[in-house]
Chains A and B, each alone.
Chain A
Amino acid sequence: QVQLQQWGAGLLKPTETLSLICAVHGGSLDGFYWSWIRQSPGKGLEWIGEISHSGSTNYNPSLKSRVSILLDTSKNQFALNLTSVTAADTAVYYCARDWGLSWFDPWGQGTLVTVSS
């Protein structure tokens, strides 16, 4: 059974870069897409972007200029970088396996990232 474990810095200052990693346990990166999704306080879910097992990416246009999603096949991990963060980027960030223009399952445990000066 595939499980996702994620981690990264939880407190950032404005203009810093958000970096999170998601490790895939019990399965391979092959054959799937891997997504990042966030939930701002009191709001709904927002898809950030995805990367395929071959490294091709799709990003939400609302974040595209600041986002990069990377793959590390040697470690069975993928990562999210979001540059120039502001308070509006404060959210719980989730990684998830994306079955390729299909559903998300499973999800990581979530990481709260707070942006504050």
Chain B
Amino acid sequence: EIVLTQSPDFQSVTPKEKVTITCRASQNIGVSLHWYQHKADQSPKLLIKYGSQSFSGVPSRFSGSGSGTDFTLTINSLEAEDAATYYCHQSFSVPLTFGGGTKVEIK
């Protein structure tokens, strides 16, 4: 099973600040890594697919990078509506797995 390790677990950020979340895979997964935003009482929403491809309708302040074992989700100029938990997910092999999540709080 591929283990995804996210860091940090929690981040408290001021609006307009930049947020960087990392996801490290336990083995090379190419670019089979996707990012989701999960707000309380809602379903997770896809932000980035295949490491760096922005999903339709996602604000341009969200971007992804990385390949192999190290990946990054960046939120430029954080807005209040971005308060959520962010998860990475690998689709390289079954069982599909998720990172432990990074909770982003707005100061």
A-to-B contact residues, CB < 8 Å: 35, 44-47, 50, 58-62, 94, 101-110
- Enumerate B50-107 residues with CB–CB distance to A below 8 Å: 50, 55, 87, 89, 91-101
B contact face: mostly helix, strand, loop, or mixed: loop
For chain B, the count of residues having a C-beta within 8 Å of the partner chain is 25
B-to-A contact residues, CB < 8 Å: 1, 32, 34, 36, 38, 43-46, 49-50, 55, 87, 89, 91-101
Centre residue among B49, B50, B94 by max chain A CB count within 10 A: B94
Tell me which residues across on chain A come within 8 A of B32, comparing CB atoms: 101-102
A101 to B59, CA, bound (A): 25
Say whether B96 contacts A47, CB under 8 Å: yes
Tell me which residues across on chain A come within 8 A of B50, comparing CB atoms: 102-103
| Residue in chain A with minimal CB distance to B98 | A45
Given A102-B49, A103-B34, check contact A94 B43 (CB 8 Å): yes
